[in-house]
Homo-oligomer: A and B are copies of this chain.
Amino acid sequence: MGTFRPVRFVDVALEGQFWRERLETVLTKTIPSQHVQLGRHGILEALTLPNPPPPLRFPRNEHNFTVQVFWDSDVGKWIEAASYALSHRRDAAIEAKIEAITDDLEIAQAADGYLNCWYLQREPDKRWTNLRDNHELYNLGHLLEGGIAYFLATGRRRLLGILERYVEHVRKTFGPEPGQKRGYDGHQEIELALVKLYRLTGERRHLDLAAYFIDERGRKPHYFDQEAVDRGEKPTDFWAKSYEYNQSHKPVREQTKVVGHAVRAMYMFSAMADLAAELNDESLKRACEVLWADVMASKIYITSGLGPAAANEGFTEDYDLPNDTAYAETCASVALIFWAQRMLHLDLDGNYADMLEQALFNNALGGLSRDGEHYFYSNPLDSDGRHSRWAWHTCPCCTMNASRLIASVGGYFVSASDDAVAFHLYGGISTEVDLAGGKVLLRETSAYPWSGSIRIEVTPQAPFDFTVKLRIPGWAGGAEVSVNGEPVEVAVSVENGYLSVSRLWQAGDRIALELPMPAERIYAHPLVKENVGRVALKRGPLVYCVEETDNPGGRVQQLQLPQDASIDVEERRDLFDGIVVLAADARRLTDAGWDQSLYRTRPPEAQPARLTAVPYYLWNNREKGSMQVWISEG
């Protein structure tokens, strides 16, 4: 069936209400407001060189570090998100803003192509002296992704050209040849950006540079050791204590456990999967598979949040998944989506699409508020009401990861090979794909994720043989499929999570897919200690939570859901333009009769209570209050 390639988001029209609302919000609210915030917080100003630099807004910490070193990346990510917006519809005001940024970068760029505004402005003699901490290549990576997106949206090559010159400087600077630095960045990102540049330009040297950075990582003698010595520091004084923090503790192909900073890990794995595909590198593919299995077996929240700990913004021990202190950075789930999409296209295995979907509909989507202008950076699964969305963040990385994801979300729905199309997600899209046998117009109609009733019109320009592959999610038992009213035997035709319908398709053909969506109780592995005796509710791809505003009478943590309570599925048109909630007869532990005492020998009393759960991604969009995903199953 050949290799599947994602159909680009520009070629996928989002027609379903669910994604139209998110996309419109991002285009009209999020992206414009993010530019305002970049200005307000001095991040745009920092591009203006030469300039007597203003005092640091974020003073260096005891490790001599300030988040300002990666401000360039925030600009790059905004350009990327804004360019995706332009791909949906051009906008002179946004384009003028990107052109103004381009002006600044053009002026700032050194004669040799170097272009890092932090170093150029504040430490011009120290460039390339601390890749471990200071994100120089990471910044370039995000700018480059922005430049590529802007070129694709507008055809304007000036920004991309500036960044390509910087890439050439980087290529000269880094590599295994004499006189080159055998370095790579402490925060992986440039690798996947270089693959994008390769795919855009077809220039092999970009792929080679990406492969160099991946292959060199973790080799001995360790580059970050040498670099520290060159700075007059002891390598062992590295604040994070271990190179596991940035996944350079060993060569990537020898890594079998997912460790360290979660976003760095996910970006690196995405690049590894890219390189595995482009270079047909089985060892990289195998490494990805081992690491994927590790994270799925013991290191991911039910919401697809990754990285429980704030200390390293990352991974700790197997099964260490605390709920209320979960870091589960929005960026990490967005990056997991990148990785999952790349893994999916290596094998078309529905397990990857299941996880892509789970990350998208839960932790990632949760990162952006309903109004499009507030954010979660960390995504706990339990809150006593103190956790709430930010209007901005000291480290605004997550804000633009949310907007760039949603602005390009159409790109995750459908893939095509020479003779097949594959539906990964549902929710109301139309697209035209170009197969070897001809063009095919596809229109998928559904109220997904609220309903699993999916209709697909398949309209080839002229009849021809090809295959339509439909993802049958892992959570969907008892799926039913028919073509033009004729049932398809699902049990025999599903392979790796995809049902294949191969036939002579002609205009007017209709597929009906029914994915049953009962409310489900989900239990965690008993080594996840916080969840012993607890249950989560899920329906379709959506993880649910109880939020105080829907469950008045005290904190939601006082609710207990009896094991035998049936879970009702209820449409609620009054909430968020129409959603599905889950509800059950439960009980609430009462705080009456405790008489100012904290502990007693008698258990708390309970009274009947109706429990109402809403999708996790929607929480904290109404009144502040407590929230819980894992409910005591008393």
Interface residues of A (CB under 8 A from B): 59-62, 293, 296-298, 300, 302, 317, 319-320, 322, 324-325, 382, 384, 386, 520-529, 532-536, 554-555, 557-558, 560, 563, 589-591, 594, 596-604, 626, 628, 632-634
Contact = CB atoms under 8 A, between A and B. Distances in A.
Given A62-B62, A317-B384, A525 B598 contact: yes
A522 B601 contact: yes
A296 B598 CA distance: 7
Contact of A293 (B325, B554, B596): B596
A529 B62 contact: no
B599 A520 contact: no
A235 B289 CA distance: 53
Contacts of A602: 523
A500 to B, nearest CB: 26
A551 to B, nearest CB: 14
Contacts of A532: 557-558, 560, 589, 632, 634
A535 B533 CA distance: 12
A594 B528 CA distance: 12
Nearest to A324: B322
**Identical copies in the complex:** 2
Given A600-B522, A602-B523, A533 B62 contact: no
Contact of A386 (B297, B317, B596): B317
Contacts of A62: 59-62
Contacts of A535: 603
- Scoring A61, A532, A604 by chain B CB atoms within 10 A of each residue's CB, the highest score goes to A532
A520 B601 contact: yes
A162 B17 CA distance: 79
B523 A600 contact: yes
19 contacts: A293-B596, A296-B596, A298-B598, A322-B324, A523-B600, A524-B599, A525-B597, A525-B598, A525-B599, A526-B558, A526-B591, A527-B555, A529-B558, A532-B558, A532-B560, A533-B533, A533-B632, A533-B634, A563-B603
B317 A521 contact: no
Given A526-B557, A526-B590, A533-B534, 13 more contacts: A61-B61, A317-B386, A320-B384, A521-B601, A523-B602, A523-B604, A526-B604, A527-B558, A527-B591, A529-B558, A532-B589, A533-B633, A533-B634
A58 to B, nearest CB: 9
A632 B560 CA distance: 13
Contacts of A529: 324, 382, 384, 555, 557-558, 626, 628
A600 B459 CA distance: 39
Contact of A523 (B298, B317, B325, B599): B599
Nearest to A302: B599
A597 B590 CA distance: 36
A384 B554 CA distance: 30
A59 B382 CA distance: 36
A36 to B, nearest CB: 25
B526 A589 contact: yes
A526 B600 CA distance: 11
Contacts of A525: 591, 594, 597-599, 604
A107 to B, nearest CB: 32
Contacts of A533: 533-534, 560, 632-634
Nearest to A603: B523
Q: A-B pairs with the 3 shortest C-beta distances?
A: A529-B557, A526-B589, A533-B632
